[in-house]
Structure 1
């Protein structure tokens, strides 16, 4: 049914298609119309020596999910930091996401990683998805940003 596959920079075009297909729609509505900026962002996530990218395939050929992140060495053990995780919009709610996150957990554990870390907004469906799948909300961590 579903298959987990590790992806690399050679899969960039397929990654960009799924990524923009999800994140340019509700509830995110990200504007990825600047193709050069999109290309650089995907290269930042997928094309580095510490990058760790997984794809979820339906059968052998259709990419329906992405996990874009990197390996981080930390004092509590090596972690998989997920920057972006998505399932194609029309496939959400089918169990694909739960399968995907569970398979990612198995794969990174086999690599010797100790934890998966990610950020999400509290006002999007992903928040409840992560909670249902065993992720624990940090009570002491907060995200900051500053436009300059």
Structure 2
């Protein structure tokens, strides 16, 4: 693992680089999303950034962003929780430990802010599911994701 890796809180100036990386990651295998442009992704991610309770993280090497996490806090009766909206690592670097380094940094940061929980949605039977399970996430059997296309 390269020693020049650094995880940190995201800055608004990171948005374009994160958008370029997300386009690369999610338009590729195994997701095969159909993002049309960096501008479309940037508009999507900026909606998270504009949330007053947004907290974002990046991991970089020599000022090149290799991964990012877009999320926000939510108040709950048990205390503040952090909800991950988007989490991605450069597809060329997945399974290299970079995603784990970023996740560990996020957990340490959240603990320091008295945030007790991380929650997220992910695709079942995709590599991300195993990544999150490796980091202690559990599937809640009494919760379902529902949607209505019209």
TM range (shorter): over 0.9
Structure 1: segments with no counterpart, 5+ residues: none
Q: Which residue of 1 aligns with 2:107?
A: 105
State the number of aligned residues. 147
Q: How does 1:93-132 map to 2 (within 5 A)?
A: 93-132=95-134
How far apart in 1 are the matches of 2:39 and 2:145? Answer: 27
- Normalising by structure 2, we get a TM-score of 0.91
How far apart in 2 are the matches of 1:17 and 1:37? Answer: 10
Corresponding residue to 1:6 among 3, 6, 9: 9
Structure 1 contact 4–103 (Cα < 8 Å) conserved: yes
Corresponding residue to 1:63 among 65, 69, 89: 65
After TM superposition, the runs of 4+ consecutive aligned structure 1 residues lying more than 6 A away are none
Q: Which residue of 2 aligns with 1:26?
A: 29
Alpha-carbon offset, residue 36 of structure 1: 5.0
How far apart in 1 are the matches of 2:16 and 2:131? Answer: 27
How far apart in 1 are the matches of 2:19 and 2:38? Answer: 10
- Normalising by structure 1, we get a TM-score of 0.92
Structure 2: segments with no counterpart, 5+ residues: none
Alpha-carbon offset, residue 39 of structure 1: 2.8
How far apart in 1 are the matches of 2:109 and 2:102? Answer: 10
Q: How does 1:16-55 map to 2 (within 5 A)?
A: 16-33=19-36, 36-55=39-58
> What SS does the corresponding residue of 2:115 show, helix, strand or coil?
coil
How far apart in 2 are the matches of 1:3 and 1:36? Answer: 26
